[in-house]
């Protein structure tokens, strides 16, 4: 499971002209699910995302996490994160989880974030989405489990 975290001052996801998820200060999380992923990995990645210290403290150092700042989370599925790009000019998606199982793990990840008390919005799994954001910093990290 791969997460691309972007610290944002705002972000939103639009499907067919309709805004279906929007946040202010927090994290835009692009989430890729691999074939070998399971609920334990999703739970561990969610813990890492919520506790990853990427927000500034009073001294301007990245010492605070999403939970400490009361920030919001926008989770968007993105299978292209798990692409194999080592050879050729076309990505291979052979490591990507099958859509049905991946959607279950995506929803499980979101439920774990909400269970932790985070204001969490989502995109729409497997939809053609337009995602816009204002990356704060810019600050972007990739986490894997």
Peptide bond into 124 cis (omega under 30): no
Span 45-87, pLDDT tens digits: 999 999 999 999 999 999 999 999 999 999 999 999 999 999 9
Q: 142 in a domain, yes or no?
A: no
Catalytic site includes residue 78: yes
Span 9-21, pLDDT tens digits: 999 999 999 999 9
Q: Which domain holds residue 37?
A: 2-135
Please report how many Cα atoms fall inside a 13 Å half-sphere around the Cα of residue 134, on the Cβ side: 6
Residue 47 has a pLDDT of: 98
Q: Name the catalytic one among 55, 79, 109, 125.
A: 79
Catalytic site includes residue 79: yes
What CATH number has the domain bearing residue 130?
3.50.80.10
Q: Name the catalytic one among 80, 85, 130, 142.
A: 80
What's the structural domain count of the chain? 1
Q: 140 in a domain, yes or no?
A: no
Q: 59 in a domain, yes or no?
A: yes
The pTM of this model reads 0.96
Q: 69 in a domain, yes or no?
A: yes
Catalytic site includes residue 141: no
């Amino acid at each position: 499971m791969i997460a691309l975290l972007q610290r944002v001052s705002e972000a939103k996801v639009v499907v067919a002209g309709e805004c279906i998820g929007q946040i202010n200060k927090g994290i835009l999380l692009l989430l890729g699910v691999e074939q070998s992923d399971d609920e334990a990995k999703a739970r561990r990645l969610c813990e890492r995302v919520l506790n990853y210290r990427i927000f500034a403290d009073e001294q301007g150092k990245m010492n605070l996490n999403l939970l400490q700042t009361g920030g919001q989370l926008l989770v968007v599925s993105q299978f292209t994160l798990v692409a194999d790009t080592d050879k050729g000019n076309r990505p291979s998606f052979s490591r990507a989880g099958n859509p049905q199982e991946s959607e279950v793990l995506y929803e499980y990840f979101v439920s774990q974030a909400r269970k932790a008390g985070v204001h969490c919005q989502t995109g729409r799994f497997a939809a053609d989405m337009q995602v816009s954001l204002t990356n704060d910093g810019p600050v972007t990290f990739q986490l894997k489990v």
